[in-house]
Structure 1
Amino acid sequence: MKKINWLTTLFTVLGIFISSAAFATVPVFQSATTTSTTTIDIVYDIPIDFATTSADFITAFSATGVDKTGATASIAGSTVTVTLTVPVSADFTSSGLVVGAGTIKDFSTADLNAGVSGQTISDGIAPSITGVTPNIALITDSETGGTGFNITVTFDEPMIDDGSQDPVISFDNGGEDPSSTLTSESGTNWPDNQTFVVTYNVADANEVLADVDVLVSGGQDLAGNAITATNTDQNDLFSIDTQNPSITGVTPNIALITDSETGGTGFNITVTFDEPM
């Protein structure tokens, strides 16, 4: 009869147990952030999967201020993305995130999450520009010598308006450089924290410049998110015409006035210009 070495067997079993325990990994919540008005990313420390179904995860998920009607969930790596059908605001935050225990598991060992309650959802949504508007569409001589021109930029959410993160307005220099006319900024202000205004000193450069593009960069929302680059270039917003008109011709109707023109209105002079007057 074959002898069993009980000591060897014991250490083998213990080794398997210790090895399994050493590699046991419970998913640990790290953070939650809005990535758009309809998506929330919930991040764990390791690659994960749903313990049962995504629908079960949504059932056990909630957050103060979030309407989860029709919401779905998906996983990529260590991140659960909750997709909403009812959007939140662009500056949304919440301190009431709940993720149910046992709804997430370690991707490789199937260890379940412990669940969290009262966690914070941070604002990760970049602010968007909703409008870039010059106060006039055509700069003429009447605006020169003063500060008669300004550009207003509006945003879809409150911005940092203490002067530390002001947006920067520049212009397309590809043949549309208005710097001879708009010589410098005379001032900036925030009428409210979603509206930024830049006013310019206007000089008479005697130039014509059509369809000037405006580029907005910089600026951050209250959570520190910078504006996106997708809608910062605004095309053909204003034009400049400070060029003085020129006379192209001065023509009398006759070269010699004689007695035949006297006693009536038989003589006139026609003046023509190079542009509409």
Structure 2
Amino acid sequence: MDFLCSQEELISSYERCREIGIDPSITLPLVILNPEDLQKKIHKNKELIEAFHMSVEEDWVKGEYLFLLTDIEGYLLDVKCSTKEKKCIKDSGFEPGIFLREESCGTNAISMAMRLKRVVYVRPQEHYCDIFKKWHCIASPIIVENGEIVGYVDISTIDKKIADEVSMVIKLLAEKIATEYEKRIKEKGLNEIKIKLNDSQIKILALEAKGYRELDIAEVLGIEVVTVKYHKRKIVEKLGVKNIKEAVAKAIKLNLIDMD
């Protein structure tokens, strides 16, 4: 299986756990968000959770595989698995809001993927705490187009070795989630801009994109040139850009205006 941690990487993690004072015999996560803070996390990561739901095929969760999603900090946001497996992990204290960093659960695939910024496979005997001693886990960062990591996804089994092909599945799944996430963020941004701009301002943007001068825009829309200038200032302000050219470029990129 690819993506196994080296002995040096594992030993470094164990040493950090000992320095923190983690008891290897713990069977439950040490840190979990209260309901109010969890709801804030879920709201903040709404698009990421939606992308996770869209990316994990329903057929995948009928077997013994567990799919876990965390935010950028390592807090569990969602779990998809069969009813049987869901009961098993709930008994282990695995529910949204638990913290999967070393200081809460000891060495695990999510904590190692966060530290190493790559796909990581951790076998049962390589986990530091008893909480994971039956778990086979492979985790990957979710990396969007600009290279930013927006969360982590994990595929795990309990008492069953992970098949070799899962190492490819985890990479594809992370990429699929990233694509779906970016799509939703773009749609959210577009909707927010549509709410900010009124009909006249969108029309002015479209005419600016076609090279119309302010006088021509005023004539087409039946308004004063001073009104066109006012709207252009408001457009620049609302879109958070430096000038009307940048506003046009942003509107085209977001498909806010029709260039036909």
Q: Which has the larger radius of gyration?
A: 1
The structure whose RCO (Cα within 8 Å, separation 6+) is larger is: 2
Structure 1 or 2: more strand by fraction: 1
Pick the structure with more helix per residue. Answer: 2
TM-score by length of 1: 0.27
